Structure 1
Amino acid sequence: MFKRMSILERRPGDDQSFFSRHWQERHGPLVAQLPLIRAYVQNHVEDEYAPTDFRVGGIVELQFDDPSAMATAFAASPSLAVAADEANFLGNAAGYVIGDAPIRLAGEEGKLVVLAAHGGDRAALGRFEAALRKLPEFVELIRDEVATVMTRPGATRASQGVDVFFHVYFTEVAAARRAGSQVARLAEDALKLGVFRVRTVRIV
């Protein structure tokens, strides 16, 4: 399955509660009307662990059969309503092409999404991933490597530079909460990190 991620930022002045409510209740059903979507998952930020180098209100996971199916979906007439609604809750956004990768819901488990930029030091990234796998109550890790960055038309800022999205699952929400501050302290000088505990919602 062809996978695309997106980082969504809140509008200036909006709090996380408003952003999440509108995204899930109003915007999500509009995106669900796009044709050819195989999966659409919203990752709602519940906790953010300092220090962070990224601005994140939510993280999108979308799956299609292939890139042409994605292009067809976003060119279809329902995409007009999706685009029109963005001004009602969205500050800035960027898309990241991942390629062939899975999507897993957290359910009752806890989940962290870690954004990483390695600055060319892939060895540091490898050490970081190994440390993630040793965290208490760790269950599973999905590593999404960014192939291409897609800048949103009309974006007011440059896309945030992400090389890898780590989806890290734990036995329960409390375990993910405890791990978040530990993960934020694992960064080496070469790595820029954003560490977020998320609540997953499957729309499609």
Structure 2
Amino acid sequence: MISRFGLLTRNPKLSPEEFDRHWRISHGPLAAKFPGLRAYYQHLVVNKEQFGIDHARGSWNLDGFSELHFDNIDDMMSAVSSPAFSGALQDEVDFLQDVHLVACEKHVVVPLNLGNGPFVKRMTLLKRLPEVSVEQFRREWLNVHASWVRQWPNVLGYVQNVVVDRYHGKRTISASYEEVPIDGIVEFWFRDKQEAAALYASDIVAQTQKHALVFLDEITPYFVETRQIV
């Protein structure tokens, strides 16, 4: 499966509430018509603090993440080449200032288990160190780092989305790394911020973050509220 994430910056003429309303009511139904679409989520950014993380934050200033699932890259490309896509593309002008896109492989490290209680979700952009190759990044994040995260207590879910392609402007032509300098997106669920604060004060997370220094240049987290459209 391929997850296509849109990194969204709202039109500055719109308030956050107006952006959210347009995205949900107007744009969502248009994108939901894409052929081959398996699932569609909208992740609204509600907080941009660098909570619990000592790493440098990137320059990204996002208002939302779209997430569309396709069986494979070919199906994703067919969708963005379809007549249904043209309507959604035209609609972007009304509420977005810019869109960067990444196609990702999804790797579940801690299966999602929300139970019946409340929860909060954080999504985080990762950028590797300049001297770290793509292969080394994958090895450190998918193998070593994931093994650390599996030891964390009270984690409701942890998913790694590894970037395999990038787009900006043209939706069917790959963009350069310089245009979209992201290597991964984390999805992380926990019960509440108080429990997360205790987690980030623990020794196991301190050791995990120490390992992050080996391969990560920037860590840019966002708290989000998620709704499923499809």
TM-score (norm 1): 0.79
Q: 1:101 to 1:11 in 2, by over 3 A?
A: same
Q: Over residues 111-139 of structure 1, what are the superposed CA-to-partner deviations in whole Å (9 max), with x where a residue is unaligned?
A: 10011101244488577767766666322
Q: What secondary structure, in the 3-state scheme, does the structure 2 residue paired with 1:52 have?
A: coil
- In the TM superposition, what is the alpha-carbon distance from 1:152 to its structure 2 partner? 2.4
Q: How does 1:18-29 map to 2 (within 5 A)?
A: 18-29=18-29
Q: How does 1:7-156 map to 2 (within 5 A)?
A: 7-50=7-50, 52-53=57-58, 54-99=60-105, 108-119=118-129, 120-121=131-132, 122=137, 137-153=154-170
Task: Find the aligned partners of 1:181 and 1:32 in 2 and give their Cα distance.
Answer: 37
What is the percentage of aligned positions where both structures have the same residue? 24
Q: Which residue among 182, 191, 194 is the counterpart of 2:217?
A: 191
Asked whether the equivalents of residues 4 and 99 of structure 1 are also in contact (C-alpha less than 8 Å), the reply is no
Q: What secondary structure, in the 3-state scheme, does the structure 1 residue paired with 2:90 have?
A: helix
- In the TM superposition, what is the alpha-carbon distance from 1:90 to its structure 2 partner? 0.5
Tell me which moved more, 120-129 or 194-203.
120-129
Correspondence 1:200 to 2:219: no
Tell me which moved more, 97-106 or 85-94.
97-106
Q: Provide the aligned C-alpha RMSD in A.
A: 3.4
Find the counterpart in structure 1 of residue 53 from structure 2: none
Query: Given residue 200 of structure 1, which amino acid in structure 2 is its aligned partner?
Result: T
- Aligned residue-pair number: 199
Asked whether the equivalents of residues 112 and 198 of structure 1 are also in contact (C-alpha less than 8 Å), the reply is yes
Task: Find the aligned partners of 2:112 and 2:179 in 1 and give their Cα distance.
Answer: 25
- In the TM superposition, what is the alpha-carbon distance from 1:58 to its structure 2 partner? 0.7
Asked whether the equivalents of residues 124 and 191 of structure 1 are also in contact (C-alpha less than 8 Å), the reply is no
Q: 1:152 to 1:89 in 2, by over 3 A?
A: same
Unpaired stretches in structure 2, ≥5 consecutive residues: 51-55
Asked whether the equivalents of residues 41 and 60 of structure 1 are also in contact (C-alpha less than 8 Å), the reply is yes
TM-score (norm 2): 0.71
Q: Over residues 27-82 of structure 1, what are the superposed CA-to-partner deviations in whole Å (9 max), with x where a residue is unaligned?
A: 11110111210001111101101463112111111111222221221222121210
- In the TM superposition, what is the alpha-carbon distance from 1:4 to its structure 2 partner? 1.5
Unpaired stretches in structure 1, ≥5 consecutive residues: none
Q: What secondary structure, in the 3-state scheme, does the structure 2 residue paired with 1:55 have?
A: coil
Find the counterpart in structure 2 of residue 166 from structure 1: 186
- In the TM superposition, what is the alpha-carbon distance from 1:6 to its structure 2 partner? 1.6
Q: Over residues 2-44 of structure 1, what are the superposed CA-to-partner deviations in whole Å (9 max), with x where a residue is unaligned?
A: 2211211112343322222211111111101112100011111
> Which contiguous aligned blocks of 4+ residues in structure 1 show a shift greater than 6 angstroms?
102-107, 179-183
